[in-house]
Amino acid sequence: MQVLIYHQDAAQWRDVLAKRLPEAQFHLGADHGNPQVDYLVAWKPPASLFEEQRGLRGIVNLGAGVDAMLNNPALPREIPIVKLRDAGMGELIGDYVRYGVLHFQRDFDRYQRQQRTQSWREVPVVDKAAWGIGVLGLGAIGNRVAQMLAADGYPVHGWSRSPKQLEGITCHHGDAGLDALLGQVMTLVTLLPDTPATRHLIDRATLAKLPAGASLINPGRGTLIDEAALLDALGSGETDDEAHLRGALLDAFPQEPLPAESPLWRHPRILITPHMAGPTPIGAAADQVAEALGRLSRGEAVETIDPDAGY
Ligand code: GLV
């Protein structure tokens, strides 16, 4: 089997995949002039690559989010497309979310502000049991994150498009379910895929349904959030008085890197990280890629994405 790898660390992927699939021939992808191959293993490939490949029998997306792949106008949508499931990113993102939850629940944001004025003032702790957390998106990663937070002792509410039942999580679905969740959570975590149905889901109306003093953590996709609505909900953040939304920890943005002129960089109630919440652990991911390529080449069943649903 001939496999083309398109990724900024393509040589590293080739080395780990060659160990797992000794019978395959791997090629490092360029934007143009690649040999014809059977399978493409890629992250954000350019349209030119699809225009040139005429006999692709399957694609493996080297990430959990397939938005960039599906937004590619030249993508052959009729062939099997496999994405990485939770290859360890779930736990990394879970730790990122834990950091954010503790930042607000244990008042590190307030103490940071107090430090600027040498103010020594202890704030009473809100018990974990009274700190509901909402996880929007219960795919492999959202589920893992929800389980970690529940194990930490927080009441966790999960939300998905279709009904789900998960041990230890209060599950909600649909529009009515989203409203019910929003009213009960002090931290909202967004782990939904970027699809037409999720774009700007976090808008003025959604944010208004959160309790006053709630916080937002977005390790998912930047497109989920209406940025103007977020900034309004946060207020100026210049004084100690809190606006409706207490603060936000953001890892994903519609345009990355986040442009220097974005007001998000300078807002005192926003913490910014450079899309680092869930880097892909290459070993476990390579196991998944090798398994998918093996199954595809043997004509066996493999879990593919639904291009119309967008995940
Ligand atoms: C990263 O954002 C991914 O989708 O894997």
Q: What is the pLDDT of residue 124?
A: 97
Overall number of domains in the chain:
2
Tell whether ligand 1 has an atom less than 6 A from the beta carbon of residue 139.
no
Tell whether ligand 1 has an atom less than 6 A from the beta carbon of residue 42.
no
- Is residue 98 domain-resident? yes
Among candidate residues 103, 221, 246, 269, the one labeled active-site is 221
Beta bridge partners of 218: 250
Residue with tokens 């730790």: 95
For residues 75 and 93, state if they share a domain.
no
pLDDT tens-digit series, residues 216-254: 999 999 999 999 999 999 998 877 677 899 999 999 999
Query: Which residues in 125-145 are b (16+ Cβ under 10 Å) and which e?
Result: eeebeebbbbbbbbbbbbbbb
Domain with 290 in it: what CATH number? 3.40.50.720
For residues 34 and 116, state if they share a domain.
no
- Is residue 303 domain-resident? no
Residue 2, H or E segment: strand 2-6
Beta bridge partners of 215: 187, 247
SS3 36: coil
Phi, psi of 170 (to 5 degrees): -85, 110
For residues 109 and 254, state if they share a domain.
yes
Which amino acid is it at 67?
D
> Which residue is closest in CA terms to ligand 1's atom 2?
65
- Is residue 240 domain-resident? yes
Q: Is the dihedral of CA 218, 222, 224, 229 positive or negative?
A: positive
For residues 53 and 104, state if they share a domain.
no
For a ligand 1 pocket test, name from 41, 81, 89, 190 the mutation site with the most ligand atoms within 8 angstroms of its C-beta: 89
Look up residue 276 and give its two tokens.
């680092």
**For range 281-297, the mean pLDDT:** 97
pLDDT tens-digit series, residues 147-187: 999 999 999 999 999 999 999 999 999 999 999 999 999 99
pLDDT tens-digit series, residues 79-104: 999 999 999 999 999 999 999 999 99
For the CA of 221, the closest atom of ligand 1 is 2
Q: What is the pLDDT of residue 2?
A: 98
For residues 253 and 288, state if they share a domain.
no
Q: What is the pLDDT of residue 240?
A: 66
For residues 163 and 134, state if they share a domain.
yes
Tell whether ligand 1 has an atom less than 6 A from the beta carbon of residue 92.
no
- Is residue 304 domain-resident? no
- With pLDDT > 90 as the criterion, what percentage of the chain qualifies? 97
Q: What is the pLDDT of residue 236?
A: 84
- Is residue 122 domain-resident? yes
For residues 161 and 202, state if they share a domain.
yes
Give the domain extent around 58: 2-87+280-298
For residues 175 and 255, state if they share a domain.
yes
**Catalytic residue at 269?**
no
Find out whether 192 and 136 touch, Cβ atoms under 8 Å.
yes
